[in-house]
Amino acid sequence: MNSQRRGNLKVGAPTRIYDPLFSTPAMTEVLSAETFVRNMLLFERALSAALEERKVIPNGTAQAIAALSVDDFDLAVLAAAARSAGNLCIPFVKMLTAEVARSNSEAAGYVHWGATSQDVIDTATMLQVRAAITLLEEDMEATCDALASLIRIHQNTVMSGRTWLQQGPPVTLGLKLATLLDALDRHRDRLQHLMQHAIVLQLGGAVGTLAALGRNGPAVAENLGRLLNLPVPAIPWHTQRDRIGEIAATLGILVGTLGKFGRDTSLLMQTEVGEFMEPSAPGRGGSSTMPHKRNPIFSAVILAASTRVPGLVGTLLSAMVQEHERGLGGWHAEWETLIDILRLTGGALAATREIVCGAEIYPAAMQCDMALLGGVTMAEALSFRLAQKVGKGEAHRIAESASRRAVREGINMRDALLQEPAVAQYFAAEDFNAMLNPDNYLGASNEFIERVLANHSARSVEVHHATR
Amino acid sequence: MNSQRRGNLKVGAPTRIYDPLFSTPAMTEVLSAETFVRNMLLFERALSAALEERKVIPNGTAQAIAALSVDDFDLAVLAAAARSAGNLCIPFVKMLTAEVARSNSEAAGYVHWGATSQDVIDTATMLQVRAAITLLEEDMEATCDALASLIRIHQNTVMSGRTWLQQGPPVTLGLKLATLLDALDRHRDRLQHLMQHAIVLQLGGAVGTLAALGRNGPAVAENLGRLLNLPVPAIPWHTQRDRIGEIAATLGILVGTLGKFGRDTSLLMQTEVGEFMEPSAPGRGGSSTMPHKRNPIFSAVILAASTRVPGLVGTLLSAMVQEHERGLGGWHAEWETLIDILRLTGGALAATREIVCGAEIYPAAMQCDMALLGGVTMAEALSFRLAQKVGKGEAHRIAESASRRAVREGINMRDALLQEPAVAQYFAAEDFNAMLNPDNYLGASNEFIERVLANHSARSVEVHHATR
Amino acid sequence: MNSQRRGNLKVGAPTRIYDPLFSTPAMTEVLSAETFVRNMLLFERALSAALEERKVIPNGTAQAIAALSVDDFDLAVLAAAARSAGNLCIPFVKMLTAEVARSNSEAAGYVHWGATSQDVIDTATMLQVRAAITLLEEDMEATCDALASLIRIHQNTVMSGRTWLQQGPPVTLGLKLATLLDALDRHRDRLQHLMQHAIVLQLGGAVGTLAALGRNGPAVAENLGRLLNLPVPAIPWHTQRDRIGEIAATLGILVGTLGKFGRDTSLLMQTEVGEFMEPSAPGRGGSSTMPHKRNPIFSAVILAASTRVPGLVGTLLSAMVQEHERGLGGWHAEWETLIDILRLTGGALAATREIVCGAEIYPAAMQCDMALLGGVTMAEALSFRLAQKVGKGEAHRIAESASRRAVREGINMRDALLQEPAVAQYFAAEDFNAMLNPDNYLGASNEFIERVLANHSARSVEVHHATR
Amino acid sequence: MNSQRRGNLKVGAPTRIYDPLFSTPAMTEVLSAETFVRNMLLFERALSAALEERKVIPNGTAQAIAALSVDDFDLAVLAAAARSAGNLCIPFVKMLTAEVARSNSEAAGYVHWGATSQDVIDTATMLQVRAAITLLEEDMEATCDALASLIRIHQNTVMSGRTWLQQGPPVTLGLKLATLLDALDRHRDRLQHLMQHAIVLQLGGAVGTLAALGRNGPAVAENLGRLLNLPVPAIPWHTQRDRIGEIAATLGILVGTLGKFGRDTSLLMQTEVGEFMEPSAPGRGGSSTMPHKRNPIFSAVILAASTRVPGLVGTLLSAMVQEHERGLGGWHAEWETLIDILRLTGGALAATREIVCGAEIYPAAMQCDMALLGGVTMAEALSFRLAQKVGKGEAHRIAESASRRAVREGINMRDALLQEPAVAQYFAAEDFNAMLNPDNYLGASNEFIERVLANHSARSVEVHHATR
């Protein structure tokens, strides 16, 4: 870094103080102001090259730009100039032109030829989004694969199902995690879809006609797209922001799924539950006043993201209402908001990966918690078993009565059942052992798990083939 | 309607007082409480049929349910009972059981066998969403087809491009509308994708294991899915709400696109602009105090939706954080919010269709507005033409200088240019006529339009084939 | 109700199917379409009376309007006509004029004289808001008073403090509830402030000049304000919506506070915790598949509101951007959104009141849960006591070491401490009993409680005086 | 700045690249990471001083802390450590303790005595909020005073009123701006209210009991509050976040008002309108491709803020649902969100001030635009005048008929009226001149303006007295 060129070094720094907490180093880098300026530079270089290929401008400009790097731009000056210009591109192009002029004054006259600020900013943003999603995809793959292993290991680890935060019939940890894997693999499809459909070139000129390029517009766009490896859309989209909205929303939905996992993890980590814990590490999650604490730091990071991202997605949807051929305010509202969504998604996903890859699992605590109600949570199981003898209504009545007796008298369900007159005639005490065993009341859990794992494997094979 | 059974008739009415303004009659019907109850009834009937097919329960229940209709349920009582139950399904199942018992007391014992409230509510919601999106798709198709015709007609209708609400170089109305058609056809792909991927059966029982059905769970789900024509997902998704989030977000993005069109329409309808008007009709858009007014009613409906839907989408993303096997509050937050999103989307789309199908277009006003600045908006065109002789920098300087002179002295651009010394040596006065003619500065507009129309046609053919 | 006039009775019904669950009957009534129309009628009657008092129009119109009631208006027709008019007031005034004409054709000519639709709708809304907040204030008072009693009773009921969902040092239930009472009394101040400052008359005519009333405008507004008991603002506020924003935001903050209580209640009700429970009642919170369940229904209602209201508040803030003298879309976006905020706030507050007034409290469970970690949560207390002998750093080290040993070896804190060499020289085993007793580590809890209760009492006295 | 201690200088930089565009230098400084760390340092120093005053700890710590400055903390290390700790305070206290230990190892043992991380972070945030609101209040005062002058100057500058973006009866620029001044002075009351009620000390220790301070807690808090000049609340408020919600919401409402002004300004700046312009300056608002453009940069900044802030406010309301004695995720979601709200509010207000202080006003354009419809917008005025002769209904009919004729035949209103038979018998052609003169149809505009200015003056006097 050429720190001389950075002025006071306060502007344009790539990280904010909360970046390490709420995001990842790689994501922070990709979303930094430096990367953004670098992307604008890539655009201008490729634009010049495309124009030169099509003989719209003389050779030389692309080469002159290629000699420059982000360090040739004083981000503090750039930032300050944006106040008068209304965006970063206008002062950037001025600075770029001046830099090119230092080596080739004629070439300087052809910098940014035919393009408008929004072409540069939107395309630079798209390059940033693509790099960010690539990072997300890597974390998604690692998370999903680790999850698949964990599911296989805990396919038969029985724990209490919980509805409305109340214990219900049993599930397995494998099943619980399989619903997550199932959702995450859907999210991978969504991210892949974004990569294929939502990330495109922007090149339209002042009002989306490419008029400044005369008849050459589409051909130049074609070359530019090839050079930047970005698909060229049918028509410029300066004020049609559905792709931006789709990127934001897709990440928003992903963060919602992660938030659910963060919430569950933190609930399972409660002192009174202690069934499934974030990985511990020296110093992590300690409390300044409570030395014994083990705070769910990763869950907090995920939950902070899932609290923040919905409002940010809403903002980008609101911002879609952009006027005529170039919006006023709406476009400006996108810039930092989209960065924040990507940044927080990256952090939440990394935290999820940490949990999944290092989770500490306590089957004994699961057993213990399940025993808390003395089998009352098996009421449904009993109800269905009893129903085969006494009909659904009567079975439900008995299960309910026994449950209440068990809760009221603090006895276990087996004993409570034995006190029900209607039961005694059909069942012996020992019959209840099997009936009250959670392992016997897991329904199709394994079948569901197998389907999810099979889908996951098929997906992996397919991706593997596709990327070979 | 059996009004005797509806109590005071105030509860569960299918419409709200603003429904006709903000939605459509068909959408209102589809989203009504009656339809929801009807869908719950469909679920229970199909569940019983599926259970009977699999011999899980004796024959009879499905037939008994089939004899009932929504009119057999007192919606006021249902609504009131939801307060104690926490959802509509619990009292519905009680009422249903009682109704079935009147005709077949044994069958009543098998109503809702093995299912949980959320199975019923989620599936009934999915049926509602499917019907609502079907309505949207119809309106989308009609809107897009009308738009395609309008684009063809106005392919060469030149008007001012506008950036930052300031006039810029010219566009055509065809181009302006083509960006909308392009976006709307993408939205149609998104809706189609929702229909194929996001709308699925929910059947998991109490905690997503289908334990109450023993080994029969998956087979019953298969049959149920077939009967309701809903795909069966790999695993129940009680607290994995990404599909709900995707439905909401997809509609939210669509409404953003519509909002952009509503804003543009209202701007073009301004007294000072008057280029593109909503269809007029006797009594529509009148003002109680301003008899001459022609208010952009449809734009207001669209803009109201685009102001409201982003927050509602944010809510559904927030609501995704649902605990363990059944959420507390998050699930409840979905119900009315999803309905409102569908309802407002329907209204905004119908208003868009009205505008597109009946727009009044004033090319003379477009010409007149373009003339306001005496050709200053052609500065870019000139700049690029001049650049061919004097280089980009000098050309830009001349164009800027002449523009300022034209604005300052209130003269037109042609005369201002003639006063620029550098210009006189290269151009004669008559050269400027062609240069300043907006028709000559439309760049690739027609090529872009053709691509969009070609995509639209290909899409229509494909859909046509698919639905044959 | 004159059902003949209501058409098919489906439109404008005062309740939605979820009203009983998510709101209250009184709030539903206040927010109904009937009440809104009634308020519009009140406005028009009072306007005519004010105009007559000032001799702007001849006597007769007010009297003719006074003879009408909401039942004279077919809400279905009104709703349908709103589609063409863009709001409810235009067709309402037409219908009103026709009704008045039936009894007094001359008077009909003076209906709505000098006012604009927005005057009527905004003022009718303000009357609705005032009535709704009055209901909230009643529930707030009852809730706060009940809370004060509960705090007094449980001032010394010790329970585990919990941070990051992990047990920490002890608090009392009284303290926990006192933070809620403190916040709720602040909210009462905020509601009172709204009542005094945000709820005002709207009367500005077409563009806020009252030009149609010539010189009489302000005097008429004064009389109208008196008749409706609404303060007259300095200037009409058609597109200055900060009061609406303030109403929405104030309720949004209140719902946030309630949401926190709902979350805590549901967490304390968890099967594994069971310390503080929503009141039980026959049939409430039952599950269709889990007969033993006791679902936190009230918490779910509160949490649903706290999930939904933030987005709705955001919508109203977005909607503040209204154009010139009358907004397009922004104003329309307010109508249902504000109603929903009031409606959900009413429901969440009523649910809170139910919990506070009927909470079941289990001190034994609190003791039991506190014992789970064998005193490890008293580490901080020990740390500070030890520090008096060995300095803060060393004390912290010992407490941390003992905590870890206790957790690792599954022994209690007392025994773990005795194994710390540094401890033995300063303390005897019996010294730890007092140190590890949570009752001895409550700090200023009681002082804080007393302050909150004193503020609450002072507030009550003041309100009592103010309302005498 | 001690750059050696800043590591790679990338972390914790006080500005982001968009700060100059979307905020102000003063606000950026106040909201910087440096200021935050400085505030944490102030807290710890004052805490030690308060503890020393009360003899809870020995003298020395406060003095040792006083010798340190923010430059002694490596923000990059701090930021990185936050990832393990979950917040900035834990590593900050560690670093602070180490720094103090370098000068006074005993004193190091008493750093942060009895406090918890949240005490430090919440209080440091409150100091930041106070400084930020102080900046806002200064800008508000200057803006309002400039507005008052502008209103006085343009009290009689007649322009078209506009409703639904359609021209209506006339207003004055003074009236239009008076509604803004009226709203802004209300916002000043709200900000003042925040300063008095919402900005308070946080000191509660681990779970809000201050147990670590034994009996001394409240006295220490009293002293600490005095030292930091912050009111001490009745009870700690770790998870009662209504004050944070109120701060956010109050700013959100303010931004809504500013957004309305930004929208209006940009609409009035349209090429086709040109009545009221942002101040021009060399280079400001230029376009890279459209040299003649004068983009509404300030309006864009304001509108970007009004698009973003509502979602951020919603986030803070969502984040209020914080668990038990310390929240998980909700608290974390506040940090950057609150900063962003303050930052964007500061930028939007500064932009508003720029517009108000430098607006270019074109009364001739206002006259010209008003003439566009040939007097049709005076239809209401005519209607009321005619009504005095022919009754309201007939007058309305005539005005409507003449308006339509004028629009249809492209003639002016005066001529259209003369063709109405009913009119000829009551009025002569010359009567219409006065009737159609907008200056004669301004109603109570001046009275409203005078009231607003009087309130503004009274407010200024009061503030002046209060601050003497």
For every residue of C259-325, which 3-state class applies, written as one string? HHHHHHHHHHCCCCCCCEECCCCCCCCCCCCCCCCCCCHHHHHHHHHHHHHHHHHHHHHHCCCCCCC
Q: What are the pLDDT digits (tens) for D124-170?
A: 999 999 999 999 999 999 999 999 999 999 999 999 999 999 999 99
Tell whether B295 is within 8 A of chain D (Cβ): yes
**Of A263, A308, A318, which to mutate for an interface test with D (greatest number of D Cβ within 10 Å)?**
A308
Per-residue pLDDT, averaged over B122-142, amounts to 98
**B130 included as an active-site residue:** no
The encoded tokens of residue D199 equal 């900005």
Distance CA A208, CA A119 (A): 9
Q: What is the pLDDT of residues C282-332, one digit of tens each?
A: 666 655 555 566 789 999 999 999 999 999 999 999 999 999 999 999 999
Taking only residues 76 to 115 of chain B, the set having a beta carbon closer than 8 angstroms to any beta carbon of chain C reads 78-80, 82-90, 93, 112, 115
Among chain B residues, the shortest Cα distance to D299 is held by: B164
Q: C117-149: per-residue pLDDT in tens? A: 999 999 999 999 999 999 999 999 999 999 999
Share of chain D above pLDDT 90, in %: 76
Q: How far is A406 from chain C (nearest CA, A)?
A: 10
Which chain D residues are within 8 Å of C400, Cβ to Cβ? none
Q: Provide the pLDDT for residue B18.
A: 95
Using the beta-carbon criterion (under 8 Å), do D380 and B291 form an inter-chain contact?
yes
Beta strands, E only, B185-311: 276-277
Nearest to C372 by CA among A169, A368, A276: A368
Record: contact D314-A311, CB cut-off 8 A: yes
Give the tokens for residue C123: 């003022």
A287: region left, alpha or beta (phi > 0 left; psi from -120 to 50 alpha): beta
Helix residue ranges, H only, C54-116: 61-66, 75-85, 89-103, 105-108
Q: How many CB atoms lie within 10 A of CB B152?
A: 13
Residue B322: the pLDDT is: 98
**Known catalytic residue: D326?**
yes
Low-confidence ranges of chain A (pLDDT < 70): 1-15, 282-293, 463-468
What is the SS3 assignment for B73?
coil
**CATH of region D1-113, choose from 3.40.50.11750, 1.10.275.10, 3.30.450.20, 3.40.50.300:** 1.10.275.10
Instruction: Report pLDDT digits (tens) over B335-375.
Output: 999 999 999 999 999 999 999 999 999 999 999 999 988 88
Please give the structure tokens belonging to residue D160: 């078209």
Instruction: Tell me D234's DSSP state.
Output: S
Least confident residue range of A219-223, B71-75, C14-18, C253-257: C14-18
Q: What is the pLDDT of residue C466?
A: 64
With CA atoms as reference, report the closest residue to C92 among C126, C127, C57, C68.
C68
Per-residue pLDDT, averaged over C67-81, amounts to 95
Three-state SS annotation for chain A: CCHHHHCCCCCCCCCCCCHHHHCCHHHHHHCCHHHHHHHHHHHHHHHHHHHHHCCCCCCCHHHHHHCCCHHHCCHHHHHHHHHHHCCCHHHHHHHHHHHHHHHCHHHHCCCCCCCCHHHHHHHHHHHHHHHHHHHHHHHHHHHHHHHHHHHHHCCCCEEEEEECCEEEEEEEHHHHHHHHHHHHHHHHHHHHHHHHHCCCCCCCCCCCCCHHHHHHHHHHHHHHHHHHCCCCCCCCCCCCCHHHHHHHHHHHHHHHHHHHHHHHHHHHCCCCCCCEECCCCCCCCCCCCCCCCCCCHHHHHHHHHHHHHHHHHHHHHHCCCCCCCECCCHHHHHHHHHHHHHHHHHHHHHHHHHHHHHCEECHHHHHHHHHCCCCHHHHHHHHHHHHHHHCHHHHHHHHHHHHHHHHHHCCCHHHHHHCCHHHHCCCCHHHHHHHCCHHHCCCCHHHHHHHHHHHHHHHHHHHHHHHC
pLDDT computed for residue B289 by the predictor: 52
Q: What is the pLDDT of residue A285?
A: 63
Cα distance between residue C72 and residue C101, in whole Å: 13
Min Cα separation D19/chain B (Å): 21
Amino acid at C181: L
Task: Classify the C-alpha dihedral D34-D39-D43-D48 as positive or negative.
Answer: positive
At which residue do the structure tokens 């909308």 appear? B180
- Tell me which of A392-401, C20-29, C51-60, D244-253 is least confident: A392-401
What confidence tens digit (pLDDT) does each residue in C315-324 have?
Answer: 999 999 999 9
Where does the pLDDT of residue C396 fall: very low under 50, low under 70, confident under 90, or very high at 90 and above? confident
What pLDDT score was predicted for residue C409? 85
> D116-368 adopts what CATH topology?
Fumarase C; Chain A, domain 2 (1.20.200)
Backbone CA torsion sign across C296, C302, C306, C311: positive
Where residue B132 falls among pLDDT bands split at 50, 70, 90?
very high
CB-CB contact of D313 with C313 (8 Å): yes
Residues in chain C: 468
Residue D396 has a pLDDT of: 78
**Does residue C322 belong to the interface with chain A, where contact is any CB pair within 8 Å?**
no
- pLDDT per residue as tens digits for the range C411-457: 888 888 888 887 877 777 788 888 889 999 999 999 999 999 999 99
Looking at the predicted structure, is the pLDDT value of residue B3 above 50? no
Does B376-435 match B116-368 at the fold level? no
State chain D's mean pLDDT as an integer.
Answer: 91
User: How far apart (Å, rounded) are the C-alpha atoms in residues B70 and B79?
Assistant: 14
Q: Which of B288, B257, B290 is nearest to B271 (CA)?
A: B290
Residue D167 pairs in a beta bridge with D162
Element (H, E) at D159: strand D158-163
pLDDT category at B10 given cuts 50, 70, 90 is very low
- Taking the CA of residue D257 and the nearest CA in chain C, the distance in Å comes to 7
Sequence-separated (6 or more) residues with CB below 8 Å from residue D32: D12, D13, D14, D15
Position B467 confidence tier, pLDDT thresholds 50, 70, 90: low
Q: Is the pLDDT of residue B297 over 90?
A: yes
Q: Which CATH class is domain D376-435?
A: mainly alpha
- C337–A contact, CB cutoff 8 A: no
Domains in chain A: boundaries: 1-113, 116-368, 376-435
Question: What mean pLDDT do residues B75-102 have?
Answer: 95
**Residue A200 burial (10 A CB sphere; 0-12, 13-18, 19+):** middle
* Interatomic CA distance for residues D262 and D269, integer angstroms: 10
Tell me which of A271, A380, A396 to substitute to probe the interface with C (most C C-beta atoms closer than 10 Å): A271
Q: What is the mean pLDDT of chain B?
A: 91
Q: What's the DSSP call for residue D326?
A: B
Which of B54, B308, B326, B397 is an active site residue? Answer: B326
Residue D1: is its pLDDT beyond 60? no
* Surface of D (271-290) touching B: CB under 8 A: 271-273, 285, 287, 289-290
B416-449 tens-digit pLDDT: 888 888 787 777 778 888 888 999 999 999 999 9
Q: To the nearest whole angstrom, how far is the Cα of A428 from the nearest Cα of chain C?
A: 22
Least confident of B9-18, C253-262, D116-125: B9-18
The residue of B162, B164, B306 whose CB has the most chain D CBs within 10 angstroms, and thus the best one to mutate to test that interface, is B164
Q: How far apart are CA B217 and CA B225, in angstroms?
A: 12
Q: Name, in order, each residue with C-beta under 8 angstroms of C373's C-beta and a sequence gap of 6 or more.
A: A271, A292, C167, C406, C407, C413
pLDDT, residue D8, reads 36
User: Neighbours of C (≥3 Cβ pairs closer than 8 A)?
Assistant: A, B, D
CA-based max dimension of chain B: 102
Instruction: Determine whether the interchain pair D376/B287 forms a contact, defined as Cβ–Cβ distance below 8 Å.
Output: no
* Single pTM value for the model: 0.96
Q: How far apart are CA D49 and CA D58, in angstroms?
A: 10
- Model confidence pLDDT, tens digit, residues C232-256: 999 999 999 999 999 999 999 999 9
Residue from the list B168, B291, B400 with its beta carbon closest to the beta carbon of D396:
B291
Task: Read off the pLDDT band of D325 (50, 70, 90).
Answer: very high
Q: How many helices (H) and strands (E) does chain C have?
A: 20, 4
Residue with tokens 């309002």: D144
Plot region of D294 (φ>0 → left; ψ -120 to 50 → alpha; else → beta): beta
Lowest mean pLDDT among A343-352, A392-401, C9-18, D301-310: C9-18
Mean pLDDT of the D339-351 span: 98
What is the C-alpha to C-alpha distance for residues A23 and D82, in angstroms, rounded to an integer?
11
Pairing of strands D166-172, D276-277: unpaired
D398 vs C: CB within 8 A? no
DSSP letter at B289?
Answer: S
Q: Is D295 on the interface with B (CB under 8 A)?
A: yes
Chain D residues near residue A312 by CB distance under 8 angstroms: 311, 315
Q: Higher pLDDT residue, B203 or D3?
A: B203
**Which own/partner contact pairs does B409-412 have at CB distance under 8 Å and 24+ positions apart?**
B411/B374, B412/B374, B412/B375
